[in-house]
Amino acid sequence: MASTLLSRYACPPDRYDEMLDEGGRVRPHWRQLFRHLESADAAGMSQRVEVADRWIQEDGVAYNVYADPKGQERPWAMDPLPLVIAAEEWRGVVMAVTQRARLLNAMLSDLYNGQTLLADGLLPSALVFGQHGFLWPCIGARPPGSVFLHQYAVDLARSPDGNWWVIGDRTQAPSGAGYALQNRLIVSRVFPELFRDMRVQHLASFFRELQDSLEHWAPVEAGERPLIVLLTPGPYNETYFEHAYLARYLGYPLVEGQDLTVRGDTVYLKTLTGLKRVHVIFRRQDDDYCDPLELRGDSALGVPGLLVAVRAGRVLVSNALGSGLPGSGAIMGFLPAIARRLLGEELLMPSVATWWCGEKPAREYVVDNLDKLVIKGAYPTQRFDPLFGRELRGAARADIVRRIRARPQAYVAQELVNLSQAPTWSREHDQSLLARSVGLRVYAVATPQGYQVMPGGLSRVAGGSNALVLSMQRGGAAKDTWVLADGAVSTFSMLKRVIGARDVVRSGSNLSSRVVENLFWFGRYAERFDNAARLLRVAVSRFIDNAGETTPDLEAVIELCILAGIVEPGRKDEDDPWVPVGTRLSAAIFDTSASSSLASMIRQVLWSASQLRERLSLDHWHSLSRLQSDLQIAKGVRPALGETLMFLDRVLQVSSSLTGFSMDNMTRDNGWRFLVVGRRIERLGFLAAALGDFLTSYPKQEDLGLDWVLELTDSIITYRSRYSRQPELLAVVDLVVFDDSNPHAVIFQLQALLRYVERLARDVGEVPVDALLAEEEILRNFDLADFETGPDEACAALAAHLGRLESAAYGLSDLLGMRYFTHVDIVSHQILAS
């Protein structure tokens, strides 16, 4: 009987349906899932979908749609229903994919050593010499084990007759395996019983094989453990989430080009404690950007001299530099003959019919049959969006024909594939499945025993029911892929292998200088927004208490906010109209266009956190993403003052949970010390400035500001429990400046800072802190009795000390920067004209 599940599920006759057979019956390997969905109650399912969405949101799974400097991220779109594949069918896929991986690897090996394929006319030279992806300086380079492709991904589609076809090869730095893993973690949590009962094959062994292989081929000296790094182009890249995710999962330092340096023919990581030799670079960066010395000179991302190290066999780059070549669809038509030549085998899985226009008969066919074809660039580096022939009319059609005839070798045409369809869960309707086009990306990894295929993969469904293109950029979604097991499921997970006592690593010795710098600034920014939020909360609550009236103590707080650069003055020029305090406070909190606003500070925190993704725990992320969504909500309508106060409370809660994570959950390595030092410097600077301003204005304002000084330093409770009376100057100053048991006192912060710096100095060398030490001495010897004899003079003297302390604190920040952080010195490219 047709359940309500299928009431909206269309089955056009010209497409293969993954779930239903020709008679509309559920295929055997889908039955368990289908029955589960039928019996699940509507509310329960929508709740699960929501939970899955929230995981994606909170884990920060994102896909940057464009390399946008504003860091525009879009949450990863995922459909909770997996694509199910039967065990027997999968065996065929595995055979075909491993064969293709072997073939493309052998082809690369030939093209960089000997080029018999060109000499024998099995491949046109236009598709090798004409490709920017063919890297001339790599000719003759033989990677260890002759493996060019350590990782290989292939896009598969199923035609109406039920056969799988290859529609694309990914050989450069295949992306998506990390997303597949993330999808799996989420979907298996959405359907935990089903996942177990259906005997779905696990993914973890694939990543273990990848690690083993990289270690196996790493060019190490005897007794050396290989240092493997993951090279990313950085946070602007569309799959940066995945880079950070994989780095964390595999335990590899995530590095950018500037973190590495080549000395002679050896690659090193710049760490806090000096240069560390790198043996393997697992790269997620396109190869032509990898070495500005010999490849693209305009690359700011690469490692100058890398090719020297590669040719000398001193570093393994995975995939090998130059492996992007077979990513061109243009070679597909040549593969059957190449397979016969290089492997002596017939190709097990066909490629989608492809015509390279560089051959005359193919070109004429393409021009005559445009309606049936999709036109693509022949070179992966070409910026050319696929064009669907049947959508081209008039001038556009004439134009593409002209372009093809003018430079035929730059174009290929592919037959349109009627993709198969799979069920997705409808978010708009109750208990409904929708049919969507689906494609599958499968991953293989080279091992010394041959290629191994990930039992699963990244399935992608199109955004609409008739969409021709599967693209995460165009509103599509990803799916988990469940490959069913024949027998027992191997429950291997990424457990650590046995580590001997001498392998134990205690320090984060592979901390790159850049990571350390980011941790330091993360600490400073996190503290900065906390300080600002505290100050603004004092101001807003005073403002509300006074019911809009201006009182001297409110003015004093506002004045401090203005001095701290957080709130704008009432008027900038004498001629300007007066801006009411309420408006200014609201702007100071929510106005993202003002760089000093709380909203902007939160953005800075989020930004520096995003540079540290692989170092921060998921809990950290959850707090940060909550902060971001709070801010997002406030973006639309500026909340009323009461709600603003609640917002500030929430911000401070998140802030203190961040502090908690930093203090309780992070390993106390030198990176962590830099984070804490950053926090201390910021708080010390802020306290010194705020209290200095307060003391300077004290003779004028007298006791008016004492309450908010206590509030600002979170010291009200302590004060009350000690004195049970109205705040008085001497006692307040003692508590917030001189009391070394109060964590919000100046001296406490100063001494803590000095302790951390001293501990740091043991590992990384001396840090000059003379100025801070001198101030500490002065503070310790300051005579509180001065406040009895001449309060005004005492205020002025202490304010002056605090001013010097503030500059000493920020001075230390500069010193640390100069000494330990990556100097992003200007890299320039010299090239001599004729």
Partner 1 sequence: MARYHVLHETRYDYGSAVSLSQQTLHLVPRECAWQVCRSFDLAIEPVPSWSHRGKDAFGNPVEWVAFHQPHDKLHVRAEMDVDVRPHLPSSLVAVLAWDELAERLTYKGGGVAPLAADLLANRFRFESPHVRVKHELAIFADDCFARGVDVLEAARALMEKIYTEFEFDPEATTVATPVMEVLEKKKGVCQDFAHLMIACLRAKGIPARYVSGYLLTHPPPGQPRMVGADASHAWVGVYAPGSEHGWVDFDPTNNLLPDTQHITLAWGRDFGDVSPLRGVILGGGGHEPEVEVTVTPLED
Binders of partner 1 in range 397-416 (CB under 8 A): 406-407, 409
User: Least distance (Å) from partner 1 to the CB of residue 127?
Assistant: 8
Binding span for partner 1 by CB under 8 A among 289-297, 456-464, 490-498, 756-764 = 289-297
CB of 96 to partner 1, least distance (A): 24
Determine how β-strand 354-356 pairs with β-strand 411-415.
Answer: antiparallel
Q: Can you read off the two tokens belonging to residue 723?
A: 């004195």
DSSP 427: S
Closest CA to 441 of 453, 428, 424: 453
What's the min distance (Å) between Cβ of 378 and partner 1?
11
Q: Which helix (H) or strand (E) holds 203?
A: none
Q: Smallest distance, Å, CB 265 to partner 1? A: 7
Phi, psi angles (nearest 5°) of residue 376: -130, 165
What residue type is assigned to position 668 of the chain? Answer: R
Question: How far, in whole angstroms, is CA 798 from its chain's centroid?
Answer: 46
**Which residue, 785 or 833, is less far from partner 1 as judged by CB?**
833
The answer to whether 122 contacts partner 1 (rule: CB under 8 A) is yes
* Contacts with partner 1, 127-166, as mask; x by CB under 8 A: --xx-x---xx-xx--------------------------
Distances from the Cα of 110 to the Cα of 137, 139, 341, 358, angstroms: 15, 10, 11, 22
Using the minimum distance from each CB to partner 1, give the nearer residue, 504 or 833. Answer: 833
Under the binding rule (CB under 8 A), the answer on residue 296 touching partner 1 is yes
The verdict on 125 binding partner 1 (CB under 8 A) reads: yes
> Is residue 337 a contact point for partner 1 (CB under 8 A)?
yes
Least distance between partner 1 and beta carbon 348 (Å): 21
Q: Measure the CA angle with vertex 570, ends 710 and 524; round to 5°.
A: 50
Q: How far is the CB of 487 from partner 1 (least distance, A)?
A: 45
Choose which of 42, 119, 618, 761 interacts with partner 1 (CB under 8 A). 119
Q: Virtual CA dihedral for 578, 584, 586, 590, nearest 10 degrees? A: 120
d(CA 683, CA 66): 37
Answer for which of 22, 38, 88, 120 binds partner 1 (CB under 8 A) is 120
Beta strands across the sheet bearing 280-283 = 254-255, 228-231, 280-283, 316-318
Interaction residues for partner 1, span 469-508 (CB under 8 A) = none
| Cβ contact 698:705 at 8 Å | yes
Which range in 194-202, 354-362, 553-561, 799-807 contacts partner 1 by CB under 8 A? 354-362
Q: Binder to partner 1 among 89, 359, 630, 740 (CB under 8 A)?
A: 359
| C-alpha–C-alpha distance, residues 138 and 370, integer Å | 38
Q: Write each residue from 245 to 274 as x if it is in contact with partner 1 (CB under 8 A), else as -, in one continuous string.
A: ----------------xxxxx---------
Stretch that binds partner 1, among 113-121, 242-250, 364-372, 695-703 (CB under 8 A): 113-121
Is 652 a binding residue for partner 1 by CB under 8 A? The answer is no
294 binds partner 1 (CB under 8 A): yes
Residue 825 found at the interface with partner 1 (CB under 8 A)? yes
Which residue in 358, 439, 685, 692 binds partner 1 (CB under 8 A)? 358
Q: Residue 5 in contact with residue 432, Cβ under 8 Å?
A: yes
Query: Does residue 39 bind partner 1 (CB under 8 A)?
Result: no
- The CB-of-361 to partner 1 minimum distance in angstroms stands at 8
3-state secondary structure 525-568: HHHHHHHHHHHHHHHHHHHHHCCCCCCHHHHHHHHHHHHCCCCC
Identify the CA nearest to 217 among candidates 313, 133, 82, 309.
313
Give the number of other Cβ atoms within 10 Å of residue 400's Cβ.
18
Which range of residues in 2-10, 14-22, 120-128, 430-438 is near partner 1 by CB under 8 A? 120-128
Helices 746-764/791-820 angle, 10° precision: 20
Binding-site size, partner 1 (CB under 8 A): 47
Using CB under 8 A as the binding rule, whether residue 197 contacts partner 1 is answered as no
Closest CB 323 distance from partner 1, rounded Å: 17
Which positions ≥6 away from 334 have C-beta within 8 Å? Answer: 122, 123, 124, 127, 356
CA distance 62 to 77: 8
Under rule CB under 8 A, residue 832 binds partner 1: yes
At its nearest, how many Å lie between partner 1 and the CB of residue 615? 26
Contacts (CB under 8 A) with partner 1, residues 559-578: none
Which residue ranges make up the site for partner 1 (CB under 8 A)? 115, 118-122, 124-126, 129-130, 132, 136-137, 139-140, 261-265, 292-294, 296-297, 304-305, 308, 337, 358-361, 406-407, 409, 825-834
